[in-house]
Every structure is written in structure tokens, then in C-alpha cells.
């Protein structure tokens, strides 16, 4: 399935969610430059979309451009700070985006903290954490294990 996405031509007619998924797969397959190309177009069309910003930052980090990735992290932090307090509808997606980008930058504490925030805002369900391969390398990190515990 991943190779299928990688072999597909980049099609601007695809919905943004599908193009973002294609970019994520390209990063996983070691083609961050192609992923960056997709995400730059998506961010140009919607500069405030946290998901696309995070994927662009992840692609940059994967290509070794941590400076750009950190600049996007700062941009997402500013977006989160500008929200009214307890705005879970907008805050949850930003927290998840920040967790994904923190993971790409190797920040295990940030990854866990932002995932906790996303889960708290009911934007991310625990099982979705397993659907993001970027989080897998932190599976043994105690704070992330704490976030992943089933809560009753």
C-alpha cells in the first residue's frame, strides 16, 4: 500500500487529505523532498492548517533541515498560544501536529506532552497514536506509555 502511494504521480486534483497522506508515506519511504513539494503546495493554499504544517516540518526534519522544522514548530506554538483558553476544537489538531513534529525532531518529552494535550482535548483517541508510525520509536518512553494507557 505504501509503495502504491509513492508510485502515484502527485496529483493536485486529489483532496488535500489524500495528498497529505501521500506526503507522509513518501517521508516513510525516504523521499522527503517529494513530500516537501506536496506539502508546500498544501500550505500555500491553507497557511494555517496545522496538519499540513506538521507534515512539511516532518519532511524537512527527515531531509536534515532541522532549522526549517523548528521554525514550523515555533509557528505551531504561536498558533496554539493565540487560541482562546480551552479551545479543544482548534487546539486538539494543533496539539497533535505539534506531537508529530516533536517526534520527528526526536523530542520525546514534547511528543508525550503534546499527545497528552491532544488526548485531553478529545481530538486524538489513544488507538490513533498507533496509526502514526512517527510515534513508534517512542513506544518505550514512560511518559508516552502513560498517555497511551486506557482511561476508564
Q: Report pTM.
A: 0.84
pLDDT band at 152 (very low <50, low <70, confident <90, very high): very low
Q: What would the pLDDT profile of 41-79 be if each residue is shown by its tens digit?
A: 999 999 999 999 999 999 999 999 999 999 999 999 999
User: Once rounded to an integer, what is the mean pLDDT over residues 26-45?
Assistant: 94
Q: Are 77 and 69 in contact (CB under 8 A)?
A: no
Q: How many Å apart are CA 62 and CA 30, to the nearest integer?
A: 8
pLDDT of residue 100: 93
For residue range 87-123, what is the model confidence (pLDDT) as tens digits?
656 777 898 899 999 999 999 899 988 888 887 766 5
Mean pLDDT of the region 20-39: 93
Higher pLDDT, 34 or 129: 34
Sorted by sequence, the CB contacts under 8 Å of residue 121 that are 6+ apart come out as 88, 91, 92, 95
For residue 61, the surrounding DSSP H or E stretch is helix 50-62
Burial degree of 131 (CB within 10 A; 0-12, 13-18, 19+):
exposed
Nearest CA to 37 out of 20, 50, 51, 49 is that of 20
Map residue 118 onto helix, strand or coil. helix
Q: How many CB atoms lie within 10 A of CB 151?
A: 7
Spell 75-101 as b/e; 16+ CB within 10 A means b: bbeebbeeeeeeeeebbbbbbbbbbbb
Dihedral (CA of 11, 61, 69, 116) sign: positive
CA distance 145 to 112: 9
pLDDT at 144: 72
What is the share, in percent, of the chain residues with pLDDT greater than 90? 45
Amino acid at each position: 500500500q505504501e509503495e502504491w502511494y509513492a508510485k502515484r504521480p502527485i496529483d493536485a486534483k486529489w483532496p488535500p487529505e489524500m495528498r497529505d497522506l501521500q506526503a507522509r508515506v513518501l517521508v516513510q519511504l525516504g523521499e522527503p523532498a517529494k513530500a516537501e513539494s506536496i506539502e508546500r503546495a498544501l500550505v500555500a493554499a491553507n497557511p494555517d492548517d496545522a496538519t499540513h504544517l506538521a507534515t512539511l516540518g516532518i519532511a524537512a526534519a527527515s531531509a536534515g533541515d532541522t532549522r526549517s522544522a523548528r521554525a514550523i514548530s515555533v509557528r505551531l506554538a504561536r498558533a496554539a498560544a493565540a487560541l482562546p483558553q480551552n479551545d479543544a476544537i482548534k487546539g486538539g489538531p494543533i496539539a497533535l501536529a505539534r506531537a508529530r513534529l516533536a517526534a520527528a525532531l526526536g523530542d520525546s518529552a514534547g511528543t508525550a506532552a503534546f499527545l497528552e494535550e491532544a488526548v485531553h482535548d478529545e481530538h486524538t483517541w489513544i488507538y490513533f497514536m498507533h496509526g502514526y508510525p512517527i510515534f513508534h520509536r517512542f513506544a518505550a518512553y514512560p511518559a508516552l506509555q502513560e498517555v497511551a494507557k486506557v482511561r476508564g
